[in-house]
Chains A and B, each alone.
Chain A
Amino acid sequence: MLALQILIDGFAISALYGLGAVGFTLLFGVSGVLNLAHGGIMVIAALIGWQAAGGLGLGTWLGSAVGVLAALVASYATYFVVVRPIQRSRAIPREETEIFVLTGTLLWGIMIQVGMAYFYSDNPVTMRPLIDGVTNIAGVRTPTNEILIAVISWVAIGLLWLLVNRTRAGKALLAASINPRGLVLLGFELDRIYLMVWTIYGVLAGIAGVLLASFLGVGTSNIGNLTASAFSIVVMGGLGSVSGSLVAAYVVGYLETFTAYEIAPTLRPIPALILLVLVVYLRPQGLLGRR
């Protein structure tokens, strides 16, 4: 019974972690950007979605769509206002660009956190469940919404896989993550590739943010944790590897759930962090990393 509870509770949270991490690692793999404003973009989706659903009376489904749109806008803002100007700047030496981008996104993330807290307070918000009620899975009472969230997460990940592996644009994306120079030689415009990856990132982060609000509730005070958690999952899975981050997300999700059930709820984040240290020490390229 307990094992089944852990299995079910762990599955949904891992799927959500996975969705957030996949966008994060794709962004790094293709454009080399470690977006430390990741948590901020997720929470923008959650807060705007919550307001659209409740305050503006659009209802849960339409409100969620508005939330995802908000994350897309935030993602573009991050690219055009913060990242691209730094990447194109002539005043910054080429080998230092990545550090400046990292710092830029970090500061941008803080601006998002403080700005959103000003408008919405730091209290977490929740989206109404997309489906109400509970389902009994072999004796374990599970909110039906939780099952739906896991399904939606996997559908999103599945669509991403289709996009990357079966469409021309997606294959160009994959190629850009392996050898950008070769791609340019073949006549592809890197700018359009980058625009596409930031679009995909914005949509994924938006869906993750809105689903998180529906499942657990989220607020500006969670932003730091969300970024840190995505970062550690992605490092564990291998920076740039989408399948690696999915595996790592499940490892972390189940490790946390197991800890919360069997050891103590207070110690929940610790084993995942210990694992992160071990991975960085013993296998720094991550489980399935390429670089």
Chain B
Amino acid sequence: MSKQGWLRPTLFAGAAAFAFATAAQAEEPIRIGVIGEESAVAGASLTRAAAMAADDINAHGGVAGRKIELFTYDDHSSAADAVRAFQRAVSQDHVVAVVATYISEVALALEPWSARLHIPFITTGAASNEISRQVHEHYDRFKYTFHGWLTSAFIAQSICDAEHDLLVEPFRMKTAVIMSEDAAWTTPLDVRYEECLPKAGLQVLDHIRFNPDTTDFAPIFRQIEAKKPDVIITGISHVGVQPTVQWRDQQVPIPMAGQSSQATTSTFWKDTNGAANGVITASAAAPGVAITPLTIPFSEAYQKRFGDSPSYSGYTTYDAIHVLADAVKRAGSTDADKLVAAMEQTDMVGTVGRWQFYGRNDQFTHAIKYGPGLITGVTLQWQDGKQVTLWPAGAANGKVKFPSFIHLPAASN
């Protein structure tokens, strides 16, 4: 071949190859890692809701033509397994972001890996203040981590606000005992409880932190009863069935309110053989309540596909996958730093409310913003087999009703 003969075909081949590679790049799926706890009720909701979100986004054409591809792992409620899953998702599955866990201890174990590997990571169920505190204090290192649920501080605040409206005013309750499991998420929760409960009108008579492996709650309930509070404010997630059933069996005459994560799922009534009747808990959402126009369609579709209503982590995970997709679209790329910058600008209506993240100069950097018009969660009560929403007033579809063995303060009507 002559010299001129090979140059043009080579250039042409090179250009064609480049064009082909770019076209292939545009079709490449957006890989997202999902790490949940399949044996736990809240953890299973997480992975299922992620699958639903990916399917919904892909059914609407994906993100700028690119499909979302999920790589799902079960961490068996173990931080060590979760870290291994995270590493594998990044190095072998080449994910561009990870959505994981409802357990604070696990989220805190993953956070440094998100920093080391420069992978955007959002936890959709954990609550500890530490998650966002580290982002605030060492921003450049931890900026890849986002906290996709209310921090313990805001969970406690929403509970104080709710119990003030629901219990203090109508039932003239004056005293409370805090009962929480000894775990990472309850440490800041209890600190905020001790601050905001007195301001809400409930004097804190005692504060009990029990081992999450406790199975016999009789001594704890008797100890609480001896102090004669008007209400027990709970902070439980790892346990739920046992204390609730024993509360009913022993006919402890004091109502339980606060946060009981297991009580947010629809199977809780069956699991406790109806002992849940009267239990009040904060949650992300509740059946039949349209926090946003997206809430009910999601919970109904989830119920239809999986047979149970989603746990709180289901709502948040469904939204988080959409947050990531929305950020990829706005950033125009899956590059980690660009994705982080885009996520910081998030202003998206999800199933639990309006998603915005706190910024670098706020106390809880990269946690979701709490407040009316944004995300507050709801407070619900189990009544006769159904979850009735009590608070905020705009979302309420029922009134507080207690089982017959509860003794209310004498001054109530």
Least Cβ distance of B287 to chain A in Å?
A: 20
Chain A, 80-132, CB within 8 A of any chain B CB: 117-118, 121-129
A9, A128, A217, A222: the one contacting B218 at CB < 8 Å is A9
- Contact at A125–B271, with CB atoms within 8 Å? yes
If A13-B216, A123-B271, A128-B273 touch, does A261 touch B242 (CB 8 Å cutoff)? Answer: no
- Contact at A218–B270, with CB atoms within 8 Å? no
Interface 9-residue window, one of B21-29, B61-69, B92-100, B207-215: B207-215
Least Cβ distance of B78 to chain A in Å?
A: 12
Q: Mark A114-157, 1 if CB is under 8 A from B, else 0.
A: 00011001111111110000100000011101100000000000
- Contact at B211–A268, with CB atoms within 8 Å? yes
Which residues of the partner chain B approach A142 to less than 8 Å between Cβ atoms? Answer: 250
A5, A217, A266: the one contacting B245 at CB < 8 Å is A217
Which residues of the partner chain A approach B333 to less than 8 Å between Cβ atoms? Answer: none
Least Cβ distance of A211 to chain B in Å?
A: 13
Q: Is A273 close to B, CB under 8 A? A: no
- Contact at B222–A266, with CB atoms within 8 Å? no
Q: Is A174 close to B, CB under 8 A? A: no
A5, A9, A123: the one contacting B262 at CB < 8 Å is A123
- Contact at A123–B241, with CB atoms within 8 Å? yes
Q: Mark A230-261, 1 if CB is under 8 A from B, else 0.
A: 00000000000000000000000000110011
> What CA separation (Å) do A121 and B219 show in the bound complex?
27
- Contact at A216–B251, with CB atoms within 8 Å? no
- Contact at B245–A126, with CB atoms within 8 Å? yes
Q: Is B292 close to A, CB under 8 A? A: no
Which residues of the partner chain B approach A118 to less than 8 Å between Cβ atoms? Answer: 39
If A121-B41, A123-B41 touch, does A261 touch B219 (CB 8 Å cutoff)? Answer: yes
Which residues of the partner chain A approach B77 to less than 8 Å between Cβ atoms? Answer: 122
- Contact at A216–B242, with CB atoms within 8 Å? yes
- Contact at B251–A117, with CB atoms within 8 Å? no
- Contact at A266–B241, with CB atoms within 8 Å? no
* Interface residue tally for chain B (C-beta within 8 Å): 33
> What CA separation (Å) do A136 and B273 show in the bound complex?
24
Q: Mark B224-261, 1 if CB is under 8 A from A, else 0.
A: 00000000000000001110011001110000000000
Q: Is A265 close to B, CB under 8 A? A: yes
- Contact at B39–A121, with CB atoms within 8 Å? yes
Which residues of the partner chain A approach B222 to less than 8 Å between Cβ atoms? Answer: 5, 9, 261
> What CA separation (Å) do A118 and B76 show in the bound complex?
11
Which residues of the partner chain A approach B208 to less than 8 Å between Cβ atoms? Answer: 265
- Contact at A222–B39, with CB atoms within 8 Å? no
- Contact at B219–A122, with CB atoms within 8 Å? no
Q: Is B44 close to A, CB under 8 A? A: yes
Q: Is B191 close to A, CB under 8 A? A: no
- Contact at A123–B40, with CB atoms within 8 Å? yes
Least Cβ distance of A4 to chain B in Å?
A: 11
Residue among A126, A219, A256, A266 with max Cβ neighbours from chain B (10 Å): A126
Which residues of the partner chain B approach A75 to less than 8 Å between Cβ atoms? Answer: none
- Contact at B214–A129, with CB atoms within 8 Å? no
If A261-B219, A265-B210 touch, does A126 touch B242 (CB 8 Å cutoff)? Answer: yes
> What CA separation (Å) do A260 and B213 show in the bound complex?
13
Residue among A125, A134, A141, A216 with max Cβ neighbours from chain B (10 Å): A216
- Contact at A257–B219, with CB atoms within 8 Å? yes
Which residues of the partner chain B approach A261 to less than 8 Å between Cβ atoms? Answer: 219, 222-223
If A5-B222, A257-B219, A261-B222 touch, does A266 touch B211 (CB 8 Å cutoff)? Answer: yes
- Contact at B223–A266, with CB atoms within 8 Å? no
A126, A145, A260: the one contacting B241 at CB < 8 Å is A126
* Interface residue tally for chain A (C-beta within 8 Å): 35
> What CA separation (Å) do A225 and B240 show in the bound complex?
18
- Contact at B209–A266, with CB atoms within 8 Å? yes
A141, A143, A216: the one contacting B216 at CB < 8 Å is A216
If A126-B245, A217-B245 touch, does A265 touch B250 (CB 8 Å cutoff)? Answer: no
Q: Is B13 close to A, CB under 8 A? A: no
- Contact at B249–A268, with CB atoms within 8 Å? no
- Contact at A266–B182, with CB atoms within 8 Å? yes
- Contact at A217–B242, with CB atoms within 8 Å? yes
Q: Is B220 close to A, CB under 8 A? A: yes
Least Cβ distance of A140 to chain B in Å?
A: 9
- Contact at B270–A260, with CB atoms within 8 Å? no
Which residues of the partner chain B approach A9 to less than 8 Å between Cβ atoms? Answer: 216, 218-219, 222
Which residues of the partner chain A approach B270 to less than 8 Å between Cβ atoms? Answer: 54
Residue among B213, B214, B215, B222 with max Cβ neighbours from chain A (10 Å): B215
> What CA separation (Å) do A261 and B210 show in the bound complex?
12
- Contact at B249–A260, with CB atoms within 8 Å? no
> What CA separation (Å) do A151 and B337 show in the bound complex?
66
Q: Is A35 close to B, CB under 8 A? A: no
Q: Is A78 close to B, CB under 8 A? A: no
Q: Is B272 close to A, CB under 8 A? A: yes
If A123-B262, A123-B271, A128-B273 touch, does A265 touch B242 (CB 8 Å cutoff)? Answer: no
Q: Is A220 close to B, CB under 8 A? A: yes
- Considering only CB atoms, which chain A residue lies closest to B240 in the complex? A123
A13, A125, A146, A220: the one contacting B39 at CB < 8 Å is A220
B182, B216, B250: the one contacting A260 at CB < 8 Å is B216
B214, B240, B249: the one contacting A265 at CB < 8 Å is B214
Interface residues of B, Cβ cutoff 8 Å to A: 39-41, 44, 77, 182, 208-211, 213-216, 218-220, 222-223, 240-242, 245-246, 249-251, 262, 270-273, 275
Q: Can you report 18 residue pairs joining A to B where beta carbons are below 8 Å apart? A: A9-B216, A54-B273, A122-B40, A123-B271, A126-B242, A128-B273, A142-B250, A216-B242, A217-B215, A217-B245, A217-B246, A218-B215, A225-B213, A257-B219, A260-B216, A265-B208, A265-B219, A266-B209
